[in-house]
Protein backbone atom coordinates (compact mmCIF):
# COMPACT_ATOMS: atom_id res chain seq x y z
CA UNK A 1 0.00 0.00 0.00
CA UNK A 2 1.27 3.50 -0.83
CA UNK A 3 2.11 5.59 2.24
CA UNK A 4 0.27 8.91 2.37
CA UNK A 5 2.77 11.76 2.02
CA UNK A 6 2.48 15.50 2.41
CA UNK A 7 3.75 17.10 -0.77
CA UNK A 8 4.56 20.79 -1.20
CA UNK A 9 4.53 21.72 -4.90
CA UNK A 10 6.07 25.08 -5.84
CA UNK A 11 4.78 26.37 -9.18
CA UNK A 12 1.77 24.06 -8.84
CA UNK A 13 -0.48 26.48 -10.72
CA UNK A 14 1.73 26.35 -13.82
CA UNK A 15 1.61 24.04 -16.81
CA UNK A 16 3.61 21.06 -15.49
CA UNK A 17 2.99 21.75 -11.79
CA UNK A 18 -0.77 21.63 -12.25
CA UNK A 19 -0.47 18.27 -14.08
CA UNK A 20 1.54 16.97 -11.11
CA UNK A 21 -1.06 18.24 -8.63
CA UNK A 22 -4.01 16.81 -10.58
CA UNK A 23 -2.21 13.48 -10.64
CA UNK A 24 -1.34 13.61 -6.93
CA UNK A 25 -4.96 14.19 -5.99
CA UNK A 26 -6.51 11.78 -8.48
CA UNK A 27 -4.04 8.88 -8.39
CA UNK A 28 -2.40 8.92 -4.94
CA UNK A 29 -3.49 9.23 -1.28
CA UNK A 30 -1.11 12.19 -0.74
CA UNK A 31 -1.92 15.65 0.67
CA UNK A 32 -0.85 18.60 -1.44
CA UNK A 33 0.06 22.21 -0.73
CA UNK A 34 0.43 24.29 -3.90
CA UNK A 35 2.86 27.12 -3.16
CA UNK A 36 2.62 29.58 -6.04
CA UNK A 37 2.93 33.33 -6.56
CA UNK A 38 0.47 33.27 -9.48
CA UNK A 39 2.58 35.18 -11.98
CA UNK A 40 1.23 35.60 -15.53
CA UNK A 41 1.95 31.85 -15.96
CA UNK A 42 0.05 30.65 -12.90
CA UNK A 43 -3.61 29.85 -13.33
CA UNK A 44 -5.97 28.52 -10.67
CA UNK A 45 -8.36 27.38 -13.40
CA UNK A 46 -5.82 24.62 -14.17
CA UNK A 47 -6.33 23.32 -10.63
CA UNK A 48 -10.12 23.67 -10.59
CA UNK A 49 -10.68 19.93 -11.35
CA UNK A 50 -9.13 18.99 -7.95
CA UNK A 51 -9.48 22.16 -5.87
CA UNK A 52 -12.47 20.97 -3.87
CA UNK A 53 -10.66 17.88 -2.61
CA UNK A 54 -9.97 18.03 1.17
CA UNK A 55 -6.37 16.86 0.53
CA UNK A 56 -5.66 19.99 -1.56
CA UNK A 57 -4.39 23.30 -0.13
CA UNK A 58 -3.21 26.46 -1.86
CA UNK A 59 -0.96 29.32 -0.70
CA UNK A 60 -0.30 32.37 -2.82
CA UNK A 61 3.33 32.99 -1.84
CA UNK A 62 6.72 33.82 -3.37
CA UNK A 63 9.62 31.31 -3.34
CA UNK A 64 12.02 34.25 -2.89
CA UNK A 65 10.36 35.16 0.43
CA UNK A 66 12.32 33.08 2.97
CA UNK A 67 9.96 33.88 5.81
CA UNK A 68 6.88 32.79 3.86
CA UNK A 69 8.63 29.59 2.74
CA UNK A 70 9.69 28.73 6.32
CA UNK A 71 6.19 29.41 7.65
CA UNK A 72 4.65 27.16 4.99
CA UNK A 73 7.12 24.37 5.79
CA UNK A 74 6.45 24.62 9.53
CA UNK A 75 2.68 24.65 9.08
CA UNK A 76 2.34 21.98 6.36
CA UNK A 77 5.29 19.73 7.37
CA UNK A 78 5.97 18.24 3.93
CA UNK A 79 7.63 14.87 3.37
CA UNK A 80 8.49 15.90 -0.18
CA UNK A 81 9.06 19.22 -1.89
CA UNK A 82 8.59 19.23 -5.65
CA UNK A 83 10.18 22.48 -6.79
CA UNK A 84 8.80 23.57 -10.15
CA UNK A 85 8.28 27.32 -9.66
CA UNK A 86 10.33 29.20 -12.22
CA UNK A 87 10.29 31.76 -14.96
CA UNK A 88 10.13 29.30 -17.83
CA UNK A 89 9.84 31.01 -21.20
CA UNK A 90 13.04 31.47 -23.24
CA UNK A 91 11.68 34.41 -25.26
CA UNK A 92 10.76 36.27 -22.08
CA UNK A 93 14.27 35.63 -20.72
CA UNK A 94 15.72 37.42 -23.74
CA UNK A 95 13.50 40.44 -23.18
CA UNK A 96 13.96 40.55 -19.38
CA UNK A 97 16.66 38.30 -17.88
CA UNK A 98 16.60 39.86 -14.38
CA UNK A 99 13.36 38.10 -13.39
CA UNK A 100 14.94 34.77 -14.39
CA UNK A 101 17.98 35.30 -12.19
CA UNK A 102 15.78 36.38 -9.32
CA UNK A 103 13.17 33.60 -9.45
CA UNK A 104 15.22 30.70 -10.76
CA UNK A 105 18.52 31.31 -8.95
CA UNK A 106 17.64 33.32 -5.82
CA UNK A 107 14.28 31.53 -5.49
CA UNK A 108 15.85 28.05 -5.71
CA UNK A 109 18.58 29.05 -3.26
CA UNK A 110 15.86 30.30 -0.86
CA UNK A 111 13.88 27.07 -1.18
CA UNK A 112 16.99 24.94 -0.56
CA UNK A 113 18.12 26.97 2.44
CA UNK A 114 14.66 26.97 4.07
CA UNK A 115 14.28 23.25 3.32
CA UNK A 116 17.66 22.59 4.94
CA UNK A 117 16.70 24.41 8.14
CA UNK A 118 13.38 22.54 8.22
CA UNK A 119 14.94 19.13 7.43
CA UNK A 120 17.60 19.47 10.15
CA UNK A 121 14.90 19.75 12.81
CA UNK A 122 12.88 16.71 11.65
CA UNK A 123 12.81 13.52 13.74
CA UNK A 124 15.11 10.85 12.28
CA UNK A 125 12.53 8.76 10.42
CA UNK A 126 10.93 11.84 8.83
CA UNK A 127 14.33 13.26 7.92
CA UNK A 128 15.19 10.00 6.16
CA UNK A 129 11.96 10.02 4.16
CA UNK A 130 12.31 13.71 3.20
CA UNK A 131 13.07 14.61 -0.44
CA UNK A 132 13.74 17.91 -2.19
CA UNK A 133 13.03 17.29 -5.86
CA UNK A 134 14.40 20.01 -8.11
CA UNK A 135 12.72 20.05 -11.53
CA UNK A 136 14.84 21.25 -14.42
CA UNK A 137 15.26 21.21 -18.16
CA UNK A 138 17.44 19.61 -20.85
CA UNK A 139 18.23 23.14 -22.06
CA UNK A 140 21.04 23.34 -19.45
CA UNK A 141 23.07 21.02 -21.71
CA UNK A 142 23.09 23.48 -24.63
CA UNK A 143 22.64 22.52 -28.24
CA UNK A 144 23.36 19.25 -30.11
CA UNK A 145 24.47 18.75 -33.69
CA UNK A 146 22.72 16.24 -35.94
CA UNK A 147 23.79 13.23 -33.83
CA UNK A 148 23.83 12.16 -30.17
CA UNK A 149 21.69 12.85 -27.12
CA UNK A 150 22.07 14.33 -23.64
CA UNK A 151 22.79 11.94 -20.80
CA UNK A 152 23.09 12.76 -17.09
CA UNK A 153 26.86 13.32 -17.46
CA UNK A 154 26.66 15.69 -20.43
CA UNK A 155 28.50 18.98 -19.86
CA UNK A 156 26.46 22.00 -18.87
CA UNK A 157 26.53 24.51 -21.74
CA UNK A 158 23.49 26.78 -21.34
CA UNK A 159 22.99 29.31 -24.14
CA UNK A 160 19.97 31.44 -23.16
CA UNK A 161 19.34 33.53 -20.03
CA UNK A 162 16.61 31.00 -19.15
CA UNK A 163 18.85 27.94 -19.44
CA UNK A 164 21.73 29.72 -17.67
CA UNK A 165 19.47 30.48 -14.71
CA UNK A 166 18.20 26.88 -14.61
CA UNK A 167 21.78 25.57 -14.84
CA UNK A 168 22.72 27.72 -11.84
CA UNK A 169 19.74 26.39 -9.88
CA UNK A 170 20.76 22.78 -10.68
CA UNK A 171 24.25 23.49 -9.31
CA UNK A 172 22.76 24.88 -6.09
CA UNK A 173 20.63 21.74 -5.62
CA UNK A 174 23.71 19.58 -6.19
CA UNK A 175 25.77 21.64 -3.74
CA UNK A 176 23.12 21.45 -1.00
CA UNK A 177 23.28 17.65 -1.27
CA UNK A 178 27.08 17.39 -1.31
CA UNK A 179 27.77 20.11 1.26
CA UNK A 180 24.89 19.76 3.70
CA UNK A 181 23.48 16.31 2.95
CA UNK A 182 20.02 17.63 2.03
CA UNK A 183 18.32 14.68 0.22
CA UNK A 184 17.90 16.21 -3.22
CA UNK A 185 16.94 14.65 -6.53
CA UNK A 186 17.18 16.58 -9.80
CA UNK A 187 15.43 15.75 -13.04
CA UNK A 188 16.14 17.34 -16.44
CA UNK A 189 13.31 17.00 -18.92
CA UNK A 190 12.82 17.73 -22.60
CA UNK A 191 10.07 19.98 -24.04
CA UNK A 192 6.61 19.27 -22.69
CA UNK A 193 3.26 19.69 -24.42
CA UNK A 194 -0.32 18.90 -23.50
CA UNK A 195 -3.47 20.33 -21.86
CA UNK A 196 -3.35 23.62 -19.88
CA UNK A 197 -0.23 24.85 -21.71
CA UNK A 198 0.06 28.64 -21.73
CA UNK A 199 -0.67 29.77 -25.29
CA UNK A 200 2.60 31.58 -25.96
CA UNK A 201 4.49 28.30 -26.44
CA UNK A 202 4.83 26.74 -29.90
CA UNK A 203 2.26 23.92 -29.73
CA UNK A 204 -0.70 25.71 -28.07
CA UNK A 205 -0.01 28.93 -30.00
CA UNK A 206 -0.10 26.98 -33.27
CA UNK A 207 -3.29 25.11 -32.33
CA UNK A 208 -5.13 28.31 -31.40
CA UNK A 209 -3.90 30.34 -34.37
CA UNK A 210 -4.82 27.45 -36.69
CA UNK A 211 -8.31 27.31 -35.19
CA UNK A 212 -8.71 31.05 -35.71
CA UNK A 213 -7.15 30.95 -39.21
CA UNK A 214 -4.33 33.29 -38.15
CA UNK A 215 -0.72 33.17 -39.45
CA UNK A 216 1.35 30.36 -37.91
CA UNK A 217 4.78 31.81 -37.08
CA UNK A 218 7.77 29.43 -37.40
CA UNK A 219 11.25 30.62 -36.39
CA UNK A 220 13.91 30.54 -39.14
CA UNK A 221 13.14 27.65 -41.53
CA UNK A 222 11.63 25.47 -38.79
CA UNK A 223 14.76 23.30 -38.70
CA UNK A 224 15.19 23.33 -34.89
CA UNK A 225 14.63 19.92 -33.35
CA UNK A 226 13.00 19.31 -29.96
CA UNK A 227 12.36 16.02 -28.14
CA UNK A 228 8.68 16.20 -27.11
CA UNK A 229 7.10 14.66 -24.02
CA UNK A 230 3.40 14.62 -23.14
CA UNK A 231 2.96 16.49 -19.86
CA UNK A 232 1.05 13.69 -18.10
CA UNK A 233 4.00 11.39 -18.79
CA UNK A 234 6.32 13.96 -17.24
CA UNK A 235 4.09 14.18 -14.15
CA UNK A 236 4.23 10.39 -13.76
CA UNK A 237 8.02 10.44 -14.17
CA UNK A 238 8.37 13.12 -11.47
CA UNK A 239 6.32 11.15 -8.96
CA UNK A 240 8.31 8.01 -9.80
CA UNK A 241 11.60 9.86 -9.29
CA UNK A 242 10.65 11.43 -5.97
CA UNK A 243 9.30 8.15 -4.64
CA UNK A 244 11.96 5.74 -5.86
CA UNK A 245 14.93 7.81 -7.07
CA UNK A 246 18.27 7.69 -5.27
CA UNK A 247 19.16 10.83 -3.34
CA UNK A 248 21.88 13.00 -4.83
CA UNK A 249 21.18 11.57 -8.30
CA UNK A 250 19.99 13.27 -11.45
CA UNK A 251 17.65 11.66 -13.97
CA UNK A 252 16.99 12.73 -17.55
CA UNK A 253 13.39 12.50 -18.72
CA UNK A 254 12.35 12.51 -22.37
CA UNK A 255 9.82 11.15 -24.80
CA UNK A 256 12.14 9.87 -27.56
CA UNK A 257 10.00 11.94 -29.93
CA UNK A 258 12.35 14.20 -31.83
CA UNK A 259 10.65 16.47 -34.33
CA UNK A 260 11.66 19.50 -36.38
CA UNK A 261 9.54 22.50 -35.44
CA UNK A 262 8.17 22.67 -38.97
CA UNK A 263 7.02 19.03 -38.77
CA UNK A 264 5.28 19.79 -35.45
CA UNK A 265 3.42 22.75 -36.95
CA UNK A 266 2.43 20.75 -40.04
CA UNK A 267 1.14 17.87 -37.88
CA UNK A 268 -1.01 20.32 -35.90
CA UNK A 269 -2.36 21.85 -39.15
CA UNK A 270 -3.41 18.41 -40.36
CA UNK A 271 -5.08 17.49 -37.04
CA UNK A 272 -7.00 20.77 -36.87
CA UNK A 273 -8.07 20.30 -40.51
CA UNK A 274 -9.30 16.81 -39.61
CA UNK A 275 -11.16 17.80 -36.41
CA UNK A 276 -12.39 21.27 -37.48
CA UNK A 277 -12.35 21.35 -41.31
CA UNK A 278 -12.21 24.82 -42.80
CA UNK A 279 -15.51 25.80 -44.48
CA UNK A 280 -13.82 27.00 -47.70
CA UNK A 281 -11.67 23.84 -47.85
CA UNK A 282 -8.45 25.76 -47.19
CA UNK A 283 -5.57 23.75 -45.68
CA UNK A 284 -4.09 25.20 -42.47
CA UNK A 285 -0.56 24.52 -43.77
CA UNK A 286 -1.09 27.57 -46.01
CA UNK A 287 -1.03 29.73 -42.86
CA UNK A 288 2.60 28.82 -42.02
CA UNK A 289 4.75 31.97 -41.97
CA UNK A 290 8.53 31.89 -41.48
CA UNK A 291 9.75 34.66 -39.16
CA UNK A 292 13.23 35.92 -38.16
CA UNK A 293 14.94 33.39 -35.90
CA UNK A 294 15.22 33.76 -32.12
CA UNK A 295 18.69 35.05 -31.09
CA UNK A 296 20.92 32.17 -29.91
CA UNK A 297 18.31 29.57 -30.94
CA UNK A 298 19.62 26.09 -29.99
CA UNK A 299 19.49 23.78 -33.01
CA UNK A 300 18.68 20.43 -31.45
CA UNK A 301 17.88 18.84 -28.10
CA UNK A 302 17.49 15.09 -27.56
CA UNK A 303 17.35 13.19 -24.30
CA UNK A 304 18.75 9.80 -23.44
CA UNK A 305 16.20 8.66 -20.83
CA UNK A 306 17.66 5.16 -20.39
CA UNK A 307 18.73 5.72 -16.75
CA UNK A 308 15.22 6.46 -15.42
CA UNK A 309 13.83 3.65 -17.56
CA UNK A 310 16.43 1.15 -16.34
CA UNK A 311 16.60 2.16 -12.66
CA UNK A 312 13.05 3.28 -11.92
CA UNK A 313 11.02 1.51 -14.61
CA UNK A 314 9.48 4.68 -16.05
CA UNK A 315 8.73 5.11 -19.74
CA UNK A 316 6.24 7.40 -21.49
CA UNK A 317 2.74 6.08 -22.22
CA UNK A 318 2.07 8.42 -25.15
CA UNK A 319 3.91 8.66 -28.44
CA UNK A 320 3.96 11.99 -30.26
CA UNK A 321 0.98 11.19 -32.51
CA UNK A 322 -1.29 10.05 -29.66
CA UNK A 323 -0.21 12.87 -27.33
CA UNK A 324 -0.68 15.53 -29.99
CA UNK A 325 -4.14 14.23 -30.87
CA UNK A 326 -5.15 14.40 -27.18
CA UNK A 327 -3.71 17.91 -26.92
CA UNK A 328 -5.50 19.32 -29.98
CA UNK A 329 -8.75 17.70 -28.84
CA UNK A 330 -8.29 19.23 -25.36
CA UNK A 331 -7.94 22.75 -26.78
CA UNK A 332 -11.05 22.18 -28.93
CA UNK A 333 -13.00 21.03 -25.86
CA UNK A 334 -11.73 23.69 -23.42
CA UNK A 335 -12.23 27.02 -25.14
CA UNK A 336 -13.23 28.88 -21.93
CA UNK A 337 -9.84 28.04 -20.36
CA UNK A 338 -7.69 29.38 -23.20
CA UNK A 339 -9.99 32.27 -24.09
CA UNK A 340 -9.73 33.52 -20.55
CA UNK A 341 -5.92 33.24 -20.59
CA UNK A 342 -5.66 34.97 -23.95
CA UNK A 343 -8.08 37.77 -23.19
CA UNK A 344 -6.86 38.25 -19.63
CA UNK A 345 -3.13 38.45 -19.98
CA UNK A 346 -1.73 37.61 -23.34
CA UNK A 347 -2.72 38.11 -26.96
CA UNK A 348 -0.29 35.84 -28.79
CA UNK A 349 2.21 38.56 -29.69
CA UNK A 350 5.73 37.55 -30.47
CA UNK A 351 8.37 37.99 -27.74
CA UNK A 352 12.17 37.80 -27.63
CA UNK A 353 13.18 39.38 -30.94
CA UNK A 354 15.39 42.06 -29.29
CA UNK A 355 14.00 44.61 -31.75
N1 LIG B 1 7.63 23.53 -20.06
C2 LIG B 1 8.59 22.68 -20.40
O3 LIG B 1 8.62 22.18 -21.52
C4 LIG B 1 9.65 22.29 -19.38
C5 LIG B 1 10.53 21.26 -19.70
C6 LIG B 1 11.46 20.87 -18.76
C7 LIG B 1 11.51 21.47 -17.52
N8 LIG B 1 10.67 22.49 -17.23
C9 LIG B 1 10.74 23.09 -15.89
O10 LIG B 1 9.57 22.70 -15.19
C11 LIG B 1 9.15 23.72 -14.31
C12 LIG B 1 7.71 24.11 -14.60
O13 LIG B 1 7.61 24.53 -15.96
P14 LIG B 1 6.22 25.04 -16.55
O15 LIG B 1 6.32 24.96 -18.02
O16 LIG B 1 5.11 24.37 -15.85
O17 LIG B 1 6.28 26.57 -16.10
P18 LIG B 1 5.09 27.65 -16.04
O19 LIG B 1 5.72 28.94 -16.47
O20 LIG B 1 3.88 27.16 -16.75
O21 LIG B 1 4.72 27.72 -14.48
C22 LIG B 1 5.56 28.31 -13.54
C23 LIG B 1 4.75 28.45 -12.25
O24 LIG B 1 5.63 29.01 -11.24
C25 LIG B 1 4.96 30.06 -10.57
N26 LIG B 1 5.97 31.01 -10.10
C27 LIG B 1 6.79 31.78 -10.85
N28 LIG B 1 7.57 32.56 -10.06
C29 LIG B 1 7.23 32.23 -8.78
C30 LIG B 1 7.69 32.67 -7.50
N31 LIG B 1 8.65 33.61 -7.40
N32 LIG B 1 7.16 32.11 -6.39
C33 LIG B 1 6.19 31.17 -6.48
N34 LIG B 1 5.70 30.73 -7.67
C35 LIG B 1 6.22 31.25 -8.80
C36 LIG B 1 4.04 30.66 -11.62
O37 LIG B 1 2.97 31.41 -11.04
C38 LIG B 1 3.57 29.41 -12.36
O39 LIG B 1 2.43 28.86 -11.74
C40 LIG B 1 10.13 24.88 -14.49
O41 LIG B 1 11.08 24.80 -13.46
C42 LIG B 1 10.77 24.61 -15.84
O43 LIG B 1 12.08 25.10 -15.88
C44 LIG B 1 9.73 22.91 -18.13
Q: What pLDDT, in 10s, does the model give residues 283-304?
A: 999 999 999 888 878 889 899 9
Q: How far is CA 42 from the centre of its chain?
A: 12
Q: Which listed residue (36, 62, 79, 139) is catalytic?
A: 139
> Which ranges constitute the DSSP H helices of 181-299?
202-211, 231-244, 261-275
CA of 11 to the centre of ligand 1 (A): 6
Catalytic annotation present for 212: no
Residue 343: per-residue pLDDT: 83
Find out whether 162 and 89 touch, Cβ atoms under 8 Å. Answer: yes
Residue 345: per-residue pLDDT: 62
Closest ligand 1 atom, CA of 38?
A: 37
Q: Percentage of the chain with pLDDT > 70?
A: 97
Q: Which listed residue (56, 109, 118, 162) is catalytic?
A: 162
| 321, burial (CB in 10 Å: exposed 0-12, middle 13-18, buried 19+) | exposed
| Residue count of the chain | 355
CA of 120 to the centre of ligand 1 (A): 27
CA of 181 to the centre of ligand 1 (A): 26
The CA distance from 118 to 253, in Å, is 29
- Given ligand 1 and candidates 20, 61, 88, 169, which is best to mutate, with the most ligand atoms within 8 Å of its CB? 88
- Asked if pLDDT for residue 351 goes beyond 70, the answer is no
Catalytic annotation present for 138: yes
**Does ligand 1 have an atom closer than 6 angstroms to the CB of 43?**
no
Residue 117: per-residue pLDDT: 98
Give the residue, by CA position, lying nearest to ligand 1 atom 15: 15
Span 225-263, pLDDT tens digits: 999 999 999 999 999 999 999 999 999 999 999 999 999
Angle between helices 261-275 and 202-211 (to 10 degrees): 40
Residue 297: per-residue pLDDT: 83
Residue 347: per-residue pLDDT: 52
- Asked if pLDDT for residue 349 goes beyond 60, the answer is no
pTM of the complete model: 0.95
Residue 241: per-residue pLDDT: 98
What DSSP assignment string belongs to 301-346?
--B--HHHHHHH----S--HHHHHHHHHHHHHH-HHHHHHHHHHT-
H or E stretch at 137: strand 131-137
**Does ligand 1 have an atom closer than 6 angstroms to the CB of 84?**
yes
| 165, burial (CB in 10 Å: exposed 0-12, middle 13-18, buried 19+) | buried
Catalytic annotation present for 35: no
The CA distance from 279 to 271, in Å, is 15
CA of 138 to the centre of ligand 1 (A): 14
Specify which of 65-79, 133-147, 281-295 reaches the highest per-range mean pLDDT.
65-79
Find out whether 157 and 299 touch, Cβ atoms under 8 Å. Answer: no
**Does ligand 1 have an atom closer than 6 angstroms to the CB of 107?**
yes
Residue 354: per-residue pLDDT: 43
Give the residue, by CA position, lying nearest to ligand 1 atom 26: 85
| Nearest alpha carbon to residue 99 among 183, 38, 39, 24 | 39
Range name among 200-204, 294-298, 346-350 with the lowest pLDDT average: 346-350
**Does ligand 1 have an atom closer than 6 angstroms to the CB of 13?**
yes
CA of 134 to the centre of ligand 1 (A): 12
| Nearest alpha carbon to residue 80 among 289, 318, 245 | 245
Amino acid sequence: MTISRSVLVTGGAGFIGSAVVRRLIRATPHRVLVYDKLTYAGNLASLAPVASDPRYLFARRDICDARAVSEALAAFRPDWILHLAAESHVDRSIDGPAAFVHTNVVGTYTMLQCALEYWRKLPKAEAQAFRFHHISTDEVFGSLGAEGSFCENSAYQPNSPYSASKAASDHFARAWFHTYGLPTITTNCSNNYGPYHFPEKLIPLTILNALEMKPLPVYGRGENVRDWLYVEDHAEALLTAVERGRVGETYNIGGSSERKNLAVVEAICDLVDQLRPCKNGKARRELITFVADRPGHDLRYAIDASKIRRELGWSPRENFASGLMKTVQWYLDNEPWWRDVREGHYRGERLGTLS
